[in-house]
């Protein structure tokens, strides 16, 4: 191509300019061009009348790092190594083919049948053209890698600055601003911001030798102790990049480690156990002072482990050490006897772990505790344990007999007590005829005490079921407001001038549990709240705790419970201070039974209380599942409840009316 033709081209691709210059230069200029900078005016002083040899042109074409083919405008006449590697074809297979055969719709057809997304750029060079390919996948990887690198630099917690050949800062990340505490670092000399011996020389050496240099320096702080820093100086094309790490904490930690090692050595020598390291042959490589103190062997005169282990114990000791070596896991509670320097055997319990050198097990670190006194008393301990076990079995038997007896007596008392309760109710309501004053008072007392005794018997029966695991829950879906009438005790509250508020809206939906037992829990909590509240109100408040559970709070404005008693009130037969001071009746079983019932429901009862300000008892219930309890189960529960209870007051009245007829 003539010089005039070259000047008519307004803008050339860099490779076009380079290859054109190569063709228009002589052989000596080719060598000069390879050594000079990669500018657009590389051959300005070369004479156009000289021509490079075809061999020189092909050599430089094939040295291109980008995948490329050389065409005569129609067919491929040569290929470089990069395109051969990318396509999988040989140079002979590509020569003579058209570019369109190997590139279809922007994709390079590889020899193995796979496709590679590429972009092409055709660069005319004289009578031939160089077609440059860009592997888009690789390009995207490089872009992503560069983006990650740039993001890493920006977000790197350590300060990073770029300096020129004179040490002046040109760019920096956000951490560098925070580290130096300067609003603008541009033009600042790093050698004035950081102080360190031979710092300037090492920065220069990094740039000259093109090798990373590590420098220890300090950052002066006005009014504070200097910070120790470590700088990695990494050479770049026209300067260096400095990665700065504050190692003050690291150095402080190293000092602490040294102190800890010293303390560890003191600890090892002053513990009451023997600490030793043995190799795989049983030779003691290290022993603490207790080794000599307990066994009487001096460190440089101690025999090997197999020599002092009791012959009867040696096999199990060697087996455990072998297992430890093969598995790489430690062992514990290995008991054996060791012979001391006085030829007396002592019992030891050992724990150990394998020691390693470059991931290869070389021995064992073992801790041994003298258990001779323990073994000496072992027979006495075993005998005492056996005796206690026998006594415990006897106590369990007596406890079961007691539970069965109480349950039997309670059942036997329940029916006549129901009759007493029914007839006393008839007397106090004057169904059997008029009463004089004493008869009326007597009937009131009989009725009241029969109610209290009935509740006590029911509580004892429930405890018996809970102790023997006989209490069965019959769970079903129900609404909490269905329990309001049964559990509110509004008439009792009104007699005390209290208000019972029941806040269980229909919008809560149904909960899932045993309604009879939940009613029992609520009745206990509400009746207790009324009992210990003289002014104000008692509130039953239910709300959705989360999407699967409903929380129920029973809130009163009563006397409150001291903090020290709040954990004890759920224990059996426990009555709080308020019960004793206010002389309130009760067996101390209600809350214990309520807590056990809620535990059977997978819940618990919690209390928050403050003396003089009232109490809040809370429990949770699961929301009803989609599938409810079958109707047969509900009927079965109803029949069981009827069979467990005696005749009701209404039934007794019907019997009396029938007799009068």
Q: For residue 596, give both structure tokens.
A: 């056990």
Alpha carbon distance 113, 107 (integer Å): 12
Residue 235 has pLDDT above 70, yes or no: yes
The pLDDT of residue 655 is above 60? no
What pLDDT, in 10s, does the model give residues 618-637?
999 999 987 544 444 443 44
Q: Which of the given ranges, 31-45, 177-191, 327-341, has the highest pLDDT on average?
A: 327-341
Instruction: Give the Cα separation of 573 and 561 in Å (integer).
Output: 16
d(CA 462, CA 589): 10
Domain-by-domain residue ranges, the chain? 15-25+53-136, 156-252, 276-471, 474-578+586-622
Give the per-residue pLDDT at 142: 67
pLDDT in tens, 567-587: 888 887 776 555 544 445 556
**Encoding tokens for residue 117?**
């997304």
Inter-residue contact 560 to 612 (CB < 8 Å)? yes
113: closest CA among 122, 129, 102, 121?
A: 102
Alpha-carbon Rg for the chain in angstroms? 47
Cα–Cα dist 588/629, whole Å: 34
- Tell me what pLDDT residue 153 has: 61
Average pLDDT, the chain: 80
Hey, what are 471's tokens? Answer: 């209490």
pLDDT band at 151; cut points 50, 70, 90:
low
Report the CATH architecture of 15-25+53-136: 2-Layer Sandwich (3.30)
Residues 73 and 131 sit within 8 Å (Cβ to Cβ)? no
CA-CA-CA-CA torsion sign (585, 591, 592, 594): positive
Q: Which CATH class is domain 156-252?
A: alpha beta
Give 467-474 contacts, CB < 8 A, sequence gap 24+.
Answer: 467/403, 468/403, 471/597, 471/600, 473/513, 473/514, 473/517, 473/600, 473/601, 474/514, 474/516, 474/629, 474/633, 474/634, 474/636, 474/637, 474/640
pTM of the prediction? 0.38
According to DSSP, the residues that pair with 618 across neighbouring strands are 553, 606
Do 156-252 and 474-578+586-622 have matching folds?
Answer: no
CA distance 556 to 404: 38
> Secondary structure of 495-537 in the HEC alphabet?
HCCCEEEEECCHHHCCEEECHHHHHHHHHHHHHHHHHCCCCCE
Distance in angstroms between the alpha carbons of the first and the last residue of the chain? 139
Tell me which CATH code domain 276-471 carries: 3.30.450.20
Q: Which CATH number describes the domain made up of 474-578+586-622?
A: 3.30.565.10
Q: What percent of the chain has pLDDT over 70?
A: 79
């Amino acid at each position: 191509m003539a010089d005039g033709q070259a000047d008519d081209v307004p803008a050339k691709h860099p490779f076009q300019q380079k290859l054109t210059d190569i063709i228009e230069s002589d052989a000596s200029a080719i060598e000069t061009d390879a050594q000079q900078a990669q500018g657009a005016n590389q051959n300005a002083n070369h004479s156009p009348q000289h021509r490079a040899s075809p061999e020189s042109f092909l050599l430089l074409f094939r040295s291109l790092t980008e995948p490329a083919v050389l065409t005569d405008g129609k067919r491929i006449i040569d290929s470089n190594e990069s395109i051969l590697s990318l396509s999988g074809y040989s140079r002979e297979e590509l020569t003579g083919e058209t570019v369109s055969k190997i590139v279809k719709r922007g994709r390079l057809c590889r020899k193995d049948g796979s496709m590679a997304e590429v972009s092409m750029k055709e660069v005319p060079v004289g009578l031939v053209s160089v077609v440059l390919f860009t592997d888009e996948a690789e390009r995207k990887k490089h872009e992503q890698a560069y983006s990650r690198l740039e993001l890493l630099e920006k977000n790197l917690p350590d300060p990073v600055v770029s300096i020129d050949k004179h040490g002046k800062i040109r760019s920096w990340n956000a951490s560098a601003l925070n580290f130096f505490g300067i609003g603008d670092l541009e033009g600042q000399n790093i050698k004035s911001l950081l102080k360190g011996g031979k710092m300037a020389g090492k920065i220069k050496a990094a740039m000259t030798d093109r090798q990373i240099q590590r420098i220890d320096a300090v950052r002066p702080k006005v009014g504070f102790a200097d910070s120790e820093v470590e700088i990695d100086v990494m050479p770049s094309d026209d300067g260096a990049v400095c990665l700065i790490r504050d190692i003050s904490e690291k150095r402080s930690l190293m000092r602490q480690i040294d102190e800890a090692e010293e303390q560890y050595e003191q600890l090892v020598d002053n513990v009451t156990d023997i600490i030793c390291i043995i190799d795989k042959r049983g030779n003691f490589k290290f022993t603490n002072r207790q080794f000599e103190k307990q066994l009487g062997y001096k460190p440089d005169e101690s025999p090997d482990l197999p020599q002092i282990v009791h012959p009867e114990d040696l096999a199990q000791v060697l087996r455990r050490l072998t297992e430890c070596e093969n598995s790489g896991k430690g062992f514990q509670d290995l008991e054996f006897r060791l012979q001391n320097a006085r030829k007396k055997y002592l019992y030891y319990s050992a724990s150990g772990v394998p020691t390693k050198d470059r991931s290869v097990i070389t021995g064992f670190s073992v801790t041994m505790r003298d258990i001779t006194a323990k073994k000496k008393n072992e027979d006495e301990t075993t005998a005492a344990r056996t005796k206690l076990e026998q006594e415990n079995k006897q106590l369990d038997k007596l406890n079961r007999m007691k539970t069965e007896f109480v349950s039997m007596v309670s059942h036997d008392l329940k029916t006549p007590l129901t009759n007493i309760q029914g007839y006393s109710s008839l007397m106090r309501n004057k169904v059997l005829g008029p009463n004089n004053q004493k008869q009326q008072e007597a009937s009131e007392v009989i009725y009241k005490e029969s109610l209290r005794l009935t509740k006590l018997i029911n509580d004892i029966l429930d405890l018996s079921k809970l102790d023997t695991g006989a209490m069965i829950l019959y769970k079903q879906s129900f609404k909490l407001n269905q329990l309001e009438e049964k559990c509110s005790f509004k008439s009792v509250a009104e007699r005390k001038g209290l208000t019972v508020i029941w806040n269980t809206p229909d919008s809560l939906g149904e909960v899932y549990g045993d309604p009879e037992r939940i009613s029992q829990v609520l009745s206990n909590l509400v009746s207790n709240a009324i009992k210990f509240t003289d002014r104000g109100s008692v509130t039953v408040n239910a709300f959705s705790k989360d999407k699967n559970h409903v929380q129920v709070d029973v809130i009163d404005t009563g006397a409150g419970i001291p903090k020290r008693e709040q954990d004890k009130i759920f224990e059996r037969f426990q009555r709080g201070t308020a019960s004793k001071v206010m002389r309130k009746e009760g067996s101390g079983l209600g809350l214990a039974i309520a807590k056990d019932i809620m535990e059977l429901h997978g819940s618990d009862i919690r209390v928050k209380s403050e003396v003089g300000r009232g109490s809040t008892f809370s429990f949770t219930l699961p929301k009803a599942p989609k599938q409810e309890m079958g109707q047969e189960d509900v009927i079965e529960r109803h029949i069981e409840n009827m069979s467990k209870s005696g005749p009701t007051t209404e039934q007794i009245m019907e019997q009396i009316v029938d007799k009068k007829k």
